[in-house]
Amino acid sequence: MSEVLVVGSLAYDSVKTPSGKAERSLGGSANYFSVSSSLFSKVRVVGVVGSDYSDADREILKQRGVDLDGMQVVAGKTFHWEGTYEHNLNEAVTLKTELNVFADFNPELPAQYKDTRFVFLANIDPVLQLKVLSQIQKPLFVGMDSMNFWIDSKQADLIEVMKKVDIVFVNEGEAKMLTQEDNAIVAIKKVAALGPEYVVVKRGEYGSTVYSKTHGFFQCPALPVEKVVDPTGAGDSFAGGFFGYLASLRPSGQEHKPTWTELKQATLAGTVMSSQTIQDFSLKALAKVDKSSYQSLSADLVKMITV
């Protein structure tokens, strides 16, 4: 299999939902992505943490075989996000964002990371995403995530990144915001026209939509979950499962890009992983997913979409 590189935030989250609350629990896009992706492939992480980042939290990643040589440790506090979900569990209300050491994050890839073939640029400043891409030697497949803040404040840089990647992950609101379109289908096609071959639109409890310039649309439902405890990290877990699955199909030396069929299969993998993340706070439920439980859940999902 091939390795996966993720560059993103390593954080502590304080989250309140109708199911309860969690104070300063492990979070951040790179954490969710790497724990999800590591079920399928070897994962390399680039991010920054403060001196308050505990050995126990680092051990969660190590137990999943995640390579932490790219984790920078800087004096100070780790990035902290505080938010709440009310009755609409698809949308978080941010109460506090403390960038701390993440404010000066300058991603420098270890030499052994620069030949990674599957690369995911998590939701960080597009200027930093471009810097990461400048350090990668001949990646096979590159994906990116973003958010409304960067669409509003650094759209030109964001579009520059989109020109250089194979696939973009956004939610429906972000796609509409970026393209100034009210119709989601038109918006998705316009996002693709900015550069990427593929666009994945994350739709929460309604699943996801994948668009290919060549093959058109693929719609995947969400796995039914009776009680959503905390939706934080669901999108990053989806992307992690998606990329980890794709990388698991490519032994070293195979240089052809993923096929449309493989991308649809990867969408199922991402769907399964995100369905587990939301059933507990932080990474608690996600870290419990093993090959056996994944196979069972994947079979359930296939039954849902098979006529």
Please count the CA atoms within 13 angstroms of the CA of 45 that sit on its side-chain side: 29
3-state SS, 96-147, equals: EEECHHHHHCCCCCCHHHCCCCEEEECCCCHHHHHHHHHHCCCCCEEEEECC
Return the CA Rg of the chain. 18
- Domain map of the chain by residue range? 4-305
Tokens of 135: 């350090």
Alpha carbon 23 to its chain centroid, in Å, reads 22
- For residue 102, give the nearest of 135, 80, 83, 131 by alpha carbon: 80
Rounded to whole angstroms, the Cα distance separating 132 from 127 reads 9
Number of neighbours of residue 106 by Cβ within 10 angstroms: 8
**pTM beyond 0.85:** yes
Tokens of 239: 């992307």
The yes/no answer on whether domain 4-305 falls in CATH 3.40.1190.20 is yes
Q: How far apart are CA 37 and CA 41, in angstroms?
A: 6
Cβ neighbors of 192 (< 8 A, separation 6 or more) are: 168, 198, 199, 211, 213
Band (pLDDT 50/70/90 cuts) for residue 305 is very high
Question: Which tens digit of pLDDT belongs to each residue from 152-198?
Answer: 999 999 999 999 999 999 999 999 999 999 999 999 999 999 999 99
- The pair of structure tokens assigned to 242 is 């998606």
Question: Per-residue pLDDT tens for 279-297?
Answer: 999 999 999 999 999 999 9
Tens digits of residue pLDDT in 256-265: 899 999 999 9
C-alpha to C-alpha distance for 114 and 136, rounded to whole angstroms: 5
